[in-house]
Structure 1
Amino acid sequence: MNPLHLLRMTRWVRHPPSPRTVVLVMSVVAICVGLFVVERWIGWPEALTVTPHRGAVRVLP
């Protein structure tokens, strides 16, 4: 572990963040975990993919 991480952890222990900041961080983490679970169990919709799995479009002469 990086020594700077230890210094940051000691700063957080001595001066904890406000409850509003904790709620904000936890809600962002919950949203990320929720998206991960939906993607794993249900799957990602094809309409939201960047490259469709149908293949390239060919132009015939």
Structure 2
Amino acid sequence: MNPIWFVRMARWARNPPSTARIRLVFGIIAVLLMIWGIEKIGWWPDWAKATRARP
């Protein structure tokens, strides 16, 4: 493990992120999981799907 990570962990322990920042991160993760789930179910519209360009 890189020693820089220990410095980051110590900084986080001394000054943890705010509640608003934690909610923001979990909100973004929830939106991404919803989009992934909608795509897996098959409800994602065809116009929003990416197509590969042919060489």
**Which TM-score bucket, shorter chain as reference?**
0.5 to 0.7
Take 1:25 and 1:3, find their aligned partners in 2: how far apart are those partners?
Answer: 25
Q: CA deviation at 1:30?
A: 0.8
Indicate the residue corresponding to 2:31 in structure 1.
31
Letter of the structure 1 residue corresponding to residue 33 of structure 2: V
Report SS of the residue matched to 2:44.
coil
Letter of the structure 1 residue corresponding to residue 40 of structure 2: R
Structure with more of its chain in helix, by fraction = 2
Q: Aligned runs of 1:13-28 on 2, under 5 Å?
A: 13-28=13-28
**Structure 1 gap ranges (5+):** 52-61
**Structure 2 gap ranges (5+):** none
TM-score (norm 1): 0.61
Larger Rg belongs to:
1
Deviating above 3 A after TM superposition, structure 1's stretches of 4 or more consecutive aligned residues are none
Over aligned residue pairs, what C-alpha RMSD do you find? 2.2
Percent identity between the aligned chains? 35
